[in-house]
């Protein structure tokens, strides 16, 4: 059991005893009216494990939650019920049932449950991923898809991403050159990948950079290999602090006594981290507003404008709709959803490649044959690198960035898999389990890393929901896939890779609403002999 429970058992015992006795008193004093008892209409709910008073099934949800839910699914089936404190929940672990939820009942499950932890980090549940379904969310979605993440805008963003990828390759090459005769540098990949993702987003969202110097992008000064600026490092640390504290496995959300007493300090820790994040966002918005007041057009017209400039322009026409709080909420969605999940996916991909050097060599051979060794991979090359796309798809299959997706909630009674789902039921879809389900046509060994599953159309018709499905599907999917492809393609093309100790990479998973590694990936990179000439010119 999680050590957190030990600290609160004495308090919960009294609540548990009271609820347990009250429950039995109510059952023994049922009132029958017109032949029906006062418990209302009987529901044929999905099966589930026995619950205990007050906690419900929280004691069963050890972290990481997707693993705990997978174990329960083996015992109770692909559709089962839970009670999270006093909140009813339903867990789906099969492709067939997920399709039902997000096609036949898409509108019913289109809203989000309210969590106290989510409210603290999402401006009261007003970010794009966390807001309730309705006019406000539809407007946010329209702004995101039309103004911020349209296909044309993503295309315009790719040169910025490419510049940041080149800068990362340059820094890694120089680190390797400084390492001595062997020319191998020890690299903490998660930090490098997060810096790259955040820097690309910073330039497109706010026309600023994340590095201390001016040369983090294309055309940087020759000696500029410095890390993130202090305020950007603070932003990253804020995300690292609160991301593990939010999500469906956070008992703090389901037990009011924990929030009243804040025994675990969750509220204090979240608010401190959110305060640092919000100060960072306010600085970005205020800086862009000052530039626009001074006659700067926000970086150009249409898709060349910074995203904040687009939102501030909308604010002038509808100030009551596009408040600063709404702009901050949209920026938070972009930064958190873009930088964190993209970096995490690329880190898992590199972890898998380090454990499967034969796959790495095959990917290098494909890039050498298609792109050559006289230039770097470009955004235009990525869609044509079929095996690289297979590697990305297989990584997302095995390690979806949000393994149980963002929780949904039913707004009406419905039926799923022959069972009743009452209004107000939280829906958890275990994408991690669905992607590893042998019954989902992934073959007899779904836990094995085999990019070849996706070669030559073999995966056509197979079910993957790494970015969600239906109305609440992630609108940043195209940008994420293009960014991960360019990052991985460059790392594979430019460097040979090995583990720090020569052994296997530990694939232990961390906790949080996303799926981080338990320990950030470190690896040894050596510039490939055939690419040294290109790397020297960066």
Secondary element (H or E) of residue 326: helix 324-335
Q: How many CB atoms lie within 10 A of CB 518?
A: 11
Known binding residue 525? Answer is no
Q: What residues contact 70, with CB distance under 8 A and at least 6 apart?
A: 93, 430, 432, 433
Q: Is 264 helix (H, G, I), strand (E, B) or coil?
A: coil
Residues, the chain: 538
Residue with structure tokens 């990253």? 236
Q: Is 497 helix (H, G, I), strand (E, B) or coil?
A: strand
Q: Is 128 helix (H, G, I), strand (E, B) or coil?
A: coil
The separation between CA 157 and the C-alpha centre of its own chain, rounded to angstroms, equals 20
* C-alpha separations of 79 from 89, 194, 237, 298 in Å: 11, 36, 37, 50
Q: What residues contact 222, with CB distance under 8 A and at least 6 apart?
A: none
Q: What residues contact 255, with CB distance under 8 A and at least 6 apart?
A: 8, 12, 54, 55, 58, 85
Q: Look up residue 475 and give its two tokens.
A: 């609108």
Query: What is the rounded distance in angstroms from the CA atom of residue 359 to the CA atom of residue 179?
Result: 27
Q: What residues contact 267, with CB distance under 8 A and at least 6 apart?
A: 120, 252, 259
Q: Look up residue 62 and give its two tokens.
A: 């050890």
Among 453, 430, 448, smallest CA distance to 515 is for 430
Can you say which residues are annotated as belonging to the binding site for heme? 474
Can you say which residues are annotated as belonging to the binding site? 474
């Amino acid at each position: 059991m999680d050590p957190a429970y030990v600290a609160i058992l004495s308090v919960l015992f009294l609540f548990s005893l009271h609820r347990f006795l009250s429950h039995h008193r109510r059952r023994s004093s049922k009132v029958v009216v017109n032949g029906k008892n006062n418990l209302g209409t009987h529901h044929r709910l999905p099966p589930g494990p026995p619950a205990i008073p007050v906690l419900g099934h929280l004691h069963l949800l050890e972290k990481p939650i997707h693993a705990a839910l997978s174990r329960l699914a083996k015992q109770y089936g692909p559709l089962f019920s839970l009670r999270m404190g006093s909140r009813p929940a339903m867990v789906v672990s099969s492709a067939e049932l997920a399709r039902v939820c997000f096609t036949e009942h898409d509108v019913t499950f289109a809203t989000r449950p309210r969590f106290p932890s989510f409210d603290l980090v999402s401006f009261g549940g007003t970010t794009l991923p966390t807001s309730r379904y309705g006019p406000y969310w539809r407007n946010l979605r329209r702004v995101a898809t039309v103004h911020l993440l349209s296909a044309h805008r993503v295309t315009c963003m790719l040169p910025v991403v490419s510049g940041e990828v080149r800068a990362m390759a340059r820094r890694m090459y120089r680190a390797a050159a400084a390492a001595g005769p062997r020319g191998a540098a020890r690299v903490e990949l998660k930090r490098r990948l997060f810096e790259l993702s955040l820097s690309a987003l910073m330039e497109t969202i706010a026309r600023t950079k994340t590095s201390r110097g001016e040369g983090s992008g294309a055309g940087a000064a020759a000696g500029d290999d410095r890390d993130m600026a202090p305020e950007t490092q603070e932003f990253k640390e804020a995300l690292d602090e609160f991301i593990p504290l939010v999500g469906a496995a956070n008992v703090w959300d389901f037990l009011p006594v924990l929030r009243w007493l804040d025994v675990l300090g969750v509220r204090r820790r979240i608010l401190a981290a959110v305060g640092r994040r919000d100060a960072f966002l306010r600085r970005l918005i205020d800086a862009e507003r000052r530039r626009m007041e001074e006659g700067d057009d926000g970086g150009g017209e249409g898709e060349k404008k910074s995203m904040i400039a687009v939102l501030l322009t909308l604010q002038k026409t509808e100030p009551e709709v596009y408040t600063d709080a709404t702009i901050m909420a949209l920026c938070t969605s972009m930064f958190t959803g873009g930088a964190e999940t993209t970096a995490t996916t690329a880190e898992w991909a590199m972890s898998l490649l380090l454990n499967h050097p034969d796959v790495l060599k095959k990917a290098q051979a494909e890039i050498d044959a298609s792109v050559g060794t006289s230039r770097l991979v470009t955004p235009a090359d990525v869609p044509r690198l079929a095996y690289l796309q297979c590697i990305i798809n297989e990584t997302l299959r095995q390690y979806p960035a949000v393994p149980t997706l963002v929780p949904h909630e039913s707004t009406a009674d419905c039926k799923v898999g022959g069972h009743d789902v009452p209004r107000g039921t939280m829906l958890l879809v275990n994408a991690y389990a669905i992607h590893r389900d042998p019954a989902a046509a992934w073959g007899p060994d779904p836990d094995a890393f085999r990019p070849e599953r996706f070669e030559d159309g073999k995966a056509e018709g197979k079910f993957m929901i790494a970015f969600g499905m239906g109305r609440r599907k992630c609108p940043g999917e195209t940008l994420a896939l293009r960014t991960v492809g360019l990052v991985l393609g460059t790392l594979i093309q430019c460097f040979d890779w090995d583990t720090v100790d020569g052994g296997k990479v530990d694939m232990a998973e961390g906790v949080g609403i996303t799926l981080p590694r338990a320990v950030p990936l470190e690896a040894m990179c050596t510039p490939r002999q055939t690419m040294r000439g290109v790397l020297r010119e960066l």
